[in-house]
Amino acid sequence: MPKPSTPTTLATPATEWRAQELLLMSQVMRLVGKSLAPEVVLREMLHLISELLGLNRGRIVLADFVGDIALNGLADRKPEPRHPANHPTSRIRYAYGLTKTEIAQGRYGPAEGITGRVLATAQPIIVQDIDAEPQFLARAVARSQLPQDIVAFIALPIEVNREVIGVLACHRIRRRDRQLNDDVAVLKILATLAGQLLQLQALVGAKTSALQAKNQLLTRALETAAARYGIIGTSPPLLQALSELERVSEASASVLLLGESGTGKELFARAVHLSSQRRDQPFIKVNCAAIPDTLFESELFGYERGAFTGAQSARAGWFEQADGGTIFLDEIGEMPLAMQTKLLRTLQEGTVVRLGGKREISVTVRVVAATNRDLAQDVQRGLFRRDLFYRLNVIPIRLPSLRERPQDIRALALHFLSRANQDNQRNVSLAPDALARLEQHPWPGNIRELGNVIERLVLLTDSTMVPAKELRRFLPTDKADAGGVGGVGDTVDKGDAGDMQALRAAATLNPPAQAIVREYQAAQSHSAEQLQLALRAHGGNQSRAAQAVGLTVRQFSYRLRKLGL
């Protein structure tokens, strides 16, 4: 018995042919068990029938409409009535023993040649002698490339869903001791297997398409839900935070939002409120970093008439105003220790006592707190009460930084661009390379910094389409980060705070080119002395003073309030 890897000889006994057939079938089924990809299984199947049965130059010709629908529609495709106008064109898709040129030449018009006729009629055709058959085209392989012996050609239809979609064909030396009918029987089995494989791939493809469509619907649903809260993005870290938020939305436990400044903590706090049953009740936001220590109690808990000089009437505090709804305590880490004790009592007992009052007032409020500080570390250092930390940290949700969700930068940039264009009656667009450049920036100031850069770009650019080259001047540079945008703040830090003349010289209204974009600065970036010097240098004009120290007016005013100036 010859080795399976070598072509069979003309003297092979019938019993050995049966062994070759069994080996062929077992190998083909083994292939199917490993992979359902037609490009893998079908080509190797053609290789095996050549090596084991001597049926050479095997090819599988598929109708061109199969390529048009990429096999995915075959599962639901209805057979068309057989009519000359419906006969498809076809070409060789899989082959063994043919060169690339020969495969490319294997194209057939409607009902053209033996292959085209099989595809059009759904009937097998066996050509006993290709030299005696005028309809045999010898298109893929020239007759001169075939053996001089009498060559037969076997072509069998491949069906999917009772529709002929292709042809399995091969050459065969006529003078052999093996019966032609045996070869035809084996090829019929393989043609059926090829059809089933293609149909299975079609079914898998249809199922995959359905799952992809469903996934797109779910993605759009997530995007819609995010847009409903004003939160833009579909990156996994953001969706994880949103998922956690929605899972706890119906609870009444306190939520602690953790993350860097500028990651959208207020939007998330509002999302907690909107996704809960309290959505129709008040949502009160309190910036703990902007309230002077002496006003904390009256702001949070209210006061009675006469509680202090100027208290002409009673006033409800933020907790009373949020009764039934949600109160958002932003920058909770900035709250003084004395107030932390009173806040803890309110959270534990659900009551408030107004400043100057004696009556306890019941309130039902859900607390959402936020901080960019490490409260656990502040607890260790004695800067934050441990019991209050545990009371707030019931449901911690970490908000990802913009660096962790680079795929959201493009959508956020386009959102800010659209908003800035509408607010300023501009029509500025970002070129693809500019959007790519935005995705590469580290964004230390997170979403807030990105929004500021886009707004600044819209206001200052002279271009309608902003390329990456122009965008660079609006992004913070290494030189700026080193202090080039510090302006007056740098001068003061170097010990020249007493020199008002030098201060005025530094704080000009014509900042250097790199100062167009201000580096992201923490809330503690400037001392009270620096801010006061800048104000005096510009006659109390906050706008000019803010520009001189590299801040926006909002940031400048915020620092003044925080320092009690």
DSSP string, 449-462: HHHHHHHHHHHH--
- Is residue 291 pLDDT above 80, yes or no? yes
Phi and psi dihedrals of 303, rounded to 5?
A: -150, 160
**Angle at the Cα of 431 (from 430 to 437), degrees rounded to 5?**
85
C-alpha angle 320/326/327, rounded to 5°?
A: 65
Q: Enumerate domains of the chain plus CATH numbers.
A: 14-205 (3.30.450.40), 236-400 (3.40.50.300), 403-475 (1.10.8.60), 484-562 (no CATH)
- The mean pLDDT value for 505-520 works out to 41
Strand stretches in 115-240, DSSP E = 125-127, 151-160, 163-173
Helix 553-562 / helix 528-537 crossing angle, nearest 10 deg: 130
Question: In the prediction, which pLDDT does 526 show?
Answer: 79
pLDDT for 263: 92
**H or E stretch covering 564:** none
What percentage of residues in the chain have a pLDDT greater than 90? 45
**Residue 150 confidence (pLDDT) above 70:** yes
515-544 residue pLDDT tens = 344 455 566 677 888 888 888 777 777 877
pLDDT at 113 over 50: yes
Largest CA distance in the chain: 120
**Which residues are CB-contacts of 436 (< 8 A; sequence separation ≥ 6)?**
468
Token code pair at residue 127? 């050509």
Q: Hey, what are 390's tokens?
A: 């545990």
Pairing mode of beta strands 302-303, 315-316: antiparallel
Question: What does the pLDDT read at residue 12?
Answer: 53
Q: Which of 269-278, 309-318, 476-485 has the lowest mean pLDDT?
A: 476-485
pLDDT at 495 over 50: no
Lowest mean pLDDT among 18-32, 120-134, 220-234: 220-234
Given a cut of 50, whether residue 75 has pLDDT beyond it is: no
pLDDT class for 92, splitting at 50, 70, 90?
very high
pTM recorded for the entire structure: 0.51
The pLDDT, as a whole number, for residue 10 is 47
Model pLDDT for residues 380-418, shown as the tens digit of each residue: 989 899 999 999 999 999 999 999 999 999 999 999 999
3-state secondary structure 271-328: HHHHCCCCCCCCEEEEEHHHCCHHHHHHHHHEECCCCCCCCCCCEECHHHHCCCCEEE
The residue among 220 and 27 whose pLDDT is bigger is 27
What pLDDT score does 439 carry? 93
Q: What would the mean pLDDT of 277-285 be, rounded to a whole number?
A: 93
| pLDDT above 70 coverage of the chain, percent | 84
DSSP bridge pairs for 284: 327
Tell me the average pLDDT across 194-218.
82
pLDDT tens for 328-373 read 999 999 999 989 999 999 999 999 999 999 899 999 999 999 999 8
Residue 51 clears pLDDT 80, i.e. is over it = yes
**pLDDT above 50: residue 453:** yes
Instruction: Give the pairing type, strands 351-353 and 326-330.
Output: unpaired
Angle subtended at Cα 485 by Cα 479 and Cα 488, rounded to the nearest 5 degrees: 135
